[in-house]
A and B are shown apart, each in its own frame.
Chain A
Amino acid sequence: MPTEKKSAPESTVSVSIVEDDDWLRQDLAKKVRLAKGFRLASLYRTAEDALKQLPDEAPDVVLMDIALPGMSGIECVQRLKEKWLDANVLILTVYEETDKIFAALRAGASGYLLKRSSTEELLEAISDLHEGGAPMSSSVARRVVKFFATEAQPKPEAEALSAREREILDLLVEGRANKEIADRLDVSVHTVRMFIRRIYKKMHVHSRGEAVARFLKK
């Protein structure tokens, strides 16, 4: 059961938070609650609780802490995506730990954010995600490239990366910003974000069915 719930106008982005640290959870909740155009859907202390409620609740974006007691955030994402394919999960981490972030992305997360990010950054990331975008740093991009080069096995339902996706990925590896990429390719930033989201989805499809334990080992 969600520990808190509030009603809000229809146009807003509903957000659920899964965070075991009480202060952080409240801090995040406060930031979301106070922001215009965002609505706090629910708060969860554990992955297990979240997994029970979230598919029914179906918030627009889920903020998921990685280091949860019991079931980890990564496993929670994987199971959630099995039940609810359209879930938009934003992973929260203390550090930019590429291994964990990458594992969460493969499990089905759409983006990630450092916990120490400012309120603006937080809200922007939530909006981006809601609008279909996805963040991808250079180091995550390097991982993605390596993944498709070596780990990804050809599967009937899995698509290989398209030329454009590959192009965008290479630019991301070089550390280019989305704006710069958009300029180079003569597309909008939004399109670049959509591409990145598609890359994440393909990666997730490639990873689906793999044991959760594999991520947890990382």
Chain B
Amino acid sequence: MPLPAKHFLRGGVVFVCLLACGAAMSQQISPVTNMDSRFSQPAAQRPLRKSELVRQLPDLAARSNYPVQLEAVVLALDVNRDGLMAAIVQDATSPIYLWLNSTAGKKMQVGHRYRITGIAQVGDFSRNIVEQKSVDLGVGKLPEPLRPSFEELVNTGLNCDWVELEGVIRPTGPLGLQLILKGGHVNLRLAKREDFAAVMARTNAWVNLRGCVIPYRTSAGQVTGAALILVPGSDFVLMKKAAPENLFALPATHVADWLRFDRRKEFPWWTKLSGQIARVRGNTIFLLEDGYGARCLVADAAGLSPGDTIEAMGLIEFAGASSLLRDAVIRKIGHATLPPARRVTVEDLLPIRREGTNVEQSAQLVRDGSRVEIEGRLVSVHPADSELILEMQANLRSFQAIVPARGSLNKLPPAGSQLQLRGVVATWEQSAIGQFSAFDLLLNSPEDISILQLPSRWTLRDALMLAGGLLVLVALAALWIFQLRRRVEQSTRQLRVEMNERQRVENRVRALEMQTALEQERTRIARNIHDELGARVTKISSLAEAGPNEMPPETKRKLQEISQASQQLVRSLDETVWTVNPGNDSLANLLDYITHFAEEFFRDTPLHCQLKIPVDVPEQPMSTELRHSLLAMVKEILNNALKHSAAQNIVISARLDGGRLWLEMHDDGRGFSVADAASGNGISNLRSRAGQINASVKIKSEPGKGTTVRIGAPLMDKNEIAPI
């Protein structure tokens, strides 16, 4: 079974049913298939006597062949394509559909009253009655008709009801007729085919007609919003106003004038509008008329295109912002270039509503159907039927631009482009002027699109990837910095340790350098004194010696003493310089100097000195202190020997043994008692000095047997570094 094709026009309230009348009728009759059920009626049941009760019969009861008996007036007769006959009858309660079976029934006349016996049965969406026996009760009285509006006609569940309607008769194809009502149109079905020509003759005439409502329903029993009027005969169609002889001869009206009309006054007659087509969309033509826009609904828009100048004849319908010329007949007059579109912003169309402000004061007034130019950013494109829908965005508001799909797909700019569009404003809702809640911009072709700016190559994806990349970089950098900082801290610690160590070494080196510098300075000063003083004392010595021979002996002796004292002074200086000079800090130097000292010391003395000091000694460092102390001790011993021993010979010997330097002074003098002399200054000085350098002193002497003094001094380990 064909489903009614439904064409839904957005923003509109008009439903146009294209369902064929025959198909609608088959809906009604298809359930009546089993004629045998008429004879299996349960005798025990009392028949239903009101059609209303039949209509209200529950499904279960309706299926059990409930008997019906009622008296009703025939409103209309009907014959379907299969030749089955039916009637719509009405009793005191409600109309009902009646399948005619009896001979009497098949001869029913409209307006006659019958006693009808039959059984109730279930139709697709309502109860009806299968007639078994009818008795003509003569001419009855037709009920007072209902006068529903178009809305009520299609939406309030009228079924078989007797109605009276006013409108314009229009043909739809060779065998179809329509009645154009305020708000819509309904198809007409004439009970008697021979009446068609008579009614057709009233095309474009204003008529008043009566008939029964037969709603179009789906197979599931749902209302489709369209209806068929079964007109019993041409005598039920009364002409109230004849059709104009030449439709287009009527004077043209202006939309501006329409808008001044009082909507409550008489339903307007045919209206003529002259204008230019701005856009054709399906069966809707957007017409430009003297600065205003109007929509024309036509049965067929084929052959019409934007730019065409036309005359439209139709019926005005006011629906909010839209000015609609419905069921229009078009006559093409010519063609011209469309006028430039008015430049508006999206705010003009979709203004922000603020408390206490009049929208019209802050925005341009844009009417539905006017042609505008508007800017926006293309968000996306998606196809819909034969159109492409461009989702647009401008200043946080969204709208759709609709362009015919044919030849457009490849010419559209990429998403993200900033576009300037020219098209017709089609509001979604017909609310108050200038207060659209949404609108479409209807473009004729891609030529109505100007690209202001192509999308930046930075897409969201790119930006996200960049952000991600940057994030990774930042993370890496942070990690790097963290590690660097750790490394720097480590290095700093290490460096600090190294610096401390270096500082220590430097301090040590500096101390050494300072010591060396001090020593050098000391040596320099000593040497200066030594050289300078030495030269002068030498002069004194010479002067003292070179006295004249004839001077008195006393004087001569004194001069000689001066000379000797001077020479001792020079020796002392020499000794001091040797002692303080760190260059002499070795065993070899000490032994050389002892040799040198002994020679000088015993020069010009009666004491004969023999030296047993090895020439070749191992390299052995020796501290200044040790060197100085040992020399001092040797001097003390030699001095004692010279002064007190009265010896003729003295032997000075040196040897190395057991890590010690052994120095021995032996004279052949008169000797002394060691015990007696121990308390004397000479020996205690000697021991005191020895103690300071950790040396041993052994004195061996007996009266008359000479004296031997032995010093044992510890030598430094060669590898040992002198402590600082």
Contacts and interface: CB of A to CB of B under 8 A. Distances in A.
A115 B539 CA distance: 9
Contacts of A173: 611, 613, 615
Interface stretch (A39-47, A73-81, A93-101): A93-101
Contact of B531 (A31, A67, A118, A174): A67
Given A139-B592, A139-B595, A27 B542 contact: yes
A21 interface: yes
B599 A138 contact: yes
A149 B616 CA distance: 9
Contacts of A118: 545
Contacts of B698: none
B374 interface: no
A103 B566 CA distance: 27
B596 A115 contact: no
Point out which of A119, A138, A143, A176 has the most chain B C-beta atoms below 10 A from its C-beta: A138
B592 A95 contact: no
Nearest to A118: B545
B634 to A, nearest CB: 14
A46 B599 CA distance: 32
Contacts of A115: 535, 538, 542
B541 interface: yes
Contacts of B345: none
Given A175-B609, A176-B610, A142 B592 contact: yes
B539 A175 contact: no
Contact of B615 (A24, A95, A119, A142): A142
Nearest to B567: A116
Contact of A96 (B542, B600, B610, B616): B600
A72 interface: no
A21 B546 contact: no
Interface residues on A, range: 20 to 34
Nearest to A94: B534
Contacts of A24: 535, 538-539, 542
Interface string B53-89: 0000000000000000000000000000000000000
Interface in A158-185: 173-177
A145 interface: yes
Contact of A23 (B539, B610, B613, B616): B539
Q: Give chain B's interface secondary structure class.
A: helix
A142 B595 contact: yes
A127 interface: no
Contacts of B610: 174-176
Interface string B601-616: 0000000111111011
Interface string B516-556: 00000000000000110011011101100110000000000
Contacts of A97: 574
B534 A96 contact: no
Interface string B126-165: 0000000000000000000000000000000000000000
B32 interface: no
B570 interface: yes
B415 interface: no
B181 interface: no
A96 B531 contact: no
Contact of B535 (A21, A138, A149, A176): A21
Point out which of B542, B546, B570, B613 has the most chain A C-beta atoms below 10 A from its C-beta: B542
Nearest to B542: A27
Contacts of B592: 98, 139, 142-143
B646 interface: no
Contacts of B531: 67, 94
Nearest to A92: B538
Contacts of B546: 27, 31, 119
Interface string A1-44: 00000000000000000000101100100010000000000000
A29 to B, nearest CB: 12
A33 to B, nearest CB: 13
Nearest to B598: A175
Given A24-B535, A115-B535, A142-B615, 9 more contacts: A23-B539, A94-B538, A96-B600, A97-B574, A115-B538, A116-B566, A137-B599, A138-B611, A149-B616
List 3 A-B pairs, minimum CB-CB distance, nearest first: A94-B534, A139-B596, A175-B611
14 contacts: A24-B535, A27-B539, A94-B534, A94-B535, A95-B530, A96-B596, A96-B599, A98-B592, A115-B535, A115-B538, A116-B541, A138-B598, A139-B599, A175-B595
